[in-house]
Amino acid sequence: METIQNRDYEGIPIGLAVRGSINNELTWRVRRGNGWWGSLFGKFYQDRFTYTIPSSINNPEGEASRVAFAQAVLNWQTVLTAEQKADFNRRAKISNTLSGYNLYIGEYVKANA
């Protein structure tokens, strides 16, 4: 990953708001600095990557996780009682990083994939 600012690509000016790909060669994204990973809080960064196409997100190795994830969502929507959901929400509030929904999904997928 290369961080660039206000450069050009074959004569096309590249500013701080370019997102997407050009000619299946390069891809740009814009991210806001958050104080982590060497970025300054509030500063915008333009990142340039070599254009790549993922081989496939539907690979056999991930099928078990996709099935478990779909079942976990269905369980949350239709199977879990209000008391069970409240318990997950209470546990998630302790960590202050997840919702009860996300906590349940994560635990279910880890246990069943």
Flag whether 55 is in a domain: no
Rounded-to-integer distance, Cα 5 and Cα 15, Å: 6
Asked if residue 67 and residue 46 are part of one domain, the reply reads no
Whether 22 maps to a domain, the answer reads yes
What is the end-to-end Cα distance of the chain in Å, rounded? 32
Q: How many domains does the chain have?
A: 2
pLDDT confidence band for 11 (50 / 70 / 90): low
pTM for the predicted model, two decimal places: 0.54
Considering the domain architecture, whether residues 64 and 95 belong to the same structural domain is answered as yes
Would you say residue 54 has pLDDT above 60?
yes
Shared domain for 38 and 68, answered yes or no, is no
- Please indicate whether residue 28 or residue 107 has the higher confidence score (pLDDT): 107
Please state, for a pLDDT cut of 70, what percent of the chain lies above it. 81
Average the pLDDT over 52-63 and give the result: 79
| Domain contains 42 | yes
pLDDT in tens, 87-97: 999 999 987 78
Is residue 68 located within the same domain as residue 104?
yes
Kindly tell me if the per-residue pLDDT of 104 is higher than 50.
yes
Q: How confident is the model at residue 1 (pLDDT cuts 50, 70, 90)?
A: very low
Whether the per-residue pLDDT at 68 is higher than 80: the answer is: yes
- Domain ranges, residue 90: 60-112
